[in-house]
């Protein structure tokens, strides 16, 4: 379970202080699918970054399976991030010079999983997501929807419990958006993941169990 209690995050910029998160309290149960919605600048990405230990917070409390995220140093935070979370972004962030297979296998390299094992881990994932035939293609040879499917495979390769998706359909047309959200919903269901997804799109959010609506750094 993930639990945030009155979490605060303030950015300092040239223009002064920005209170991106103001007393956010939220409990997310294992296996839940949550959509985070709200106007541009209301703090959705900041919330996702704090939840995924990509960013620190400066007030309140955040517990991951009962453990406080505050006490963690940089290295422990990075380890926790790698072990527990899979990330999916609007811009896919595939490495342009690497094949589909190598993009998906990349997180295994960082975990020092032997090369021999890469195929046994990556291919079933690609098959499950219906993209095994794309394994040798380069990212520029893929459609947006295919690129996002590859990014989803990469997010799953370390078998994280929690998937964090920031506008995963933001760069896709309607047809591909629907295919990607249906895939994410199926992955979450069959692999028993917790899914937290930021979206502007009401139709995409309607797939979630619960919608969290934000405004000016707060949950409505």
Ligand X SMILES: Nc1ncnc2c1ncn2[C@@H]1O[C@H](COP(=O)(O)OP(=O)(O)OP(=O)(O)O)[C@@H](O)[C@H]1O
Whole-number Å distance between alpha carbons of 185 and 163: 11
The nearest distance, CB 180 to ligand X, in angstroms, is 18
Separation between Cα atoms, residue 89 and residue 132, nearest integer Å: 21
- 1, 5, 6, 11: residue in contact with ligand X (rule CB under 6 A): 11
Give the residue from 208, 187, 217, 199 showing the smallest Cα distance to 28.
208
By the rule CB under 6 A, 46 interacts with ligand X: yes
Cα within 13 Å of Cα(16), Cβ side: 1
Q: Which of 2, 7, 20, 37 binds ligand X (CB under 6 A)?
A: 20
Q: Is 215 in the site for ligand X (CB under 6 A)?
A: no
Place of tokens 């956010």: 24
User: Applying CB under 6 A, which of residues 4, 33, 43, 212 lies at the interface with ligand X?
Assistant: 43
Question: What pairing do the DSSP bridges indicate for beta strands 59-64 and 2-13?
Answer: antiparallel
Q: What are phi and psi of 93, to 5 degrees?
A: 55, 50
CA distance 172 to 69: 34
Residue 24 touching ligand X (CB under 6 A)? no
Q: Smallest distance, Å, CB 12 to ligand X?
A: 7
Q: Which stretch binds ligand X (CB under 6 A): 36-44, 133-141, 154-162, 202-210?
A: 36-44
In the complex with ligand X, which residue's Cβ is closer, 32 or 166?
A: 166
Rounded to 5 degrees, φ, ψ at 15 are -85, 0
Tokens found for residue 72: 């963690």
Q: Does 147 bind ligand X (CB under 6 A)?
A: no
Which region, judged by CB under 6 A, interacts with ligand X, from 38-46, 76-84, 104-112, 146-154? 38-46
Residue 14 as a binder of ligand X (CB under 6 A): the answer is: no
Q: Is 91 in the site for ligand X (CB under 6 A)?
A: no
Q: Does residue 124 bind ligand X (CB under 6 A)?
A: no
The verdict on 90 binding ligand X (CB under 6 A) reads no
C-alpha closest to that of 48 among 83, 87, 19: 87
Binding site residues, ligand X, CB under 6 A: 11, 13, 18, 20, 38, 40-46
């Amino acid at each position: 379970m993930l639990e945030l209690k009155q979490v605060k995050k303030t950015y300092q910029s040239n223009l002064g202080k920005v209170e991106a998160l103001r007393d956010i309290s939220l409990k997310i149960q294992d296996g839940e699918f949550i959509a985070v919605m709200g106007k541009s600048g209301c703090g959705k990405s900041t919330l996702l970054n704090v939840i995924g230990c990509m960013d620190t917070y400066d007030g309140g409390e955040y517990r991951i399976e009962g453990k406080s995220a505050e006490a963690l140093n940089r290295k422990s935070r990075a380890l926790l991030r790698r072990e527990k979370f899979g990330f999916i972004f609007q811009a896919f962030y595939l490495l342009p010079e690497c094949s589909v297979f190598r993009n998906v296998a990349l997180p295994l390299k960082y975990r020092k999983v032997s090369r021999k094992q890469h195929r046994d881990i990556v291919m079933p994932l690609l098959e499950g997501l219906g993209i095994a035939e794309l394994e040798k293609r380069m990212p520029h040879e893929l459609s947006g929807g295919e690129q996002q499917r590859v990014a989803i495979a990469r997010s799953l390769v370390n078998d994280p419990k929690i998937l964090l998706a920031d506008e995963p359909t933001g760069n896709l047309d309607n047809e591909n958006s629907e295919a990607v959200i249906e895939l994410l919903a199926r992955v979450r269901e069959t692999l028993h993941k917790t899914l937290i997804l930021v979206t502007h799109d009401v139709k995409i959010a309607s797939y979630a169990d619960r919608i969290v609506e934000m405004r000016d750094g707060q949950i409505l």
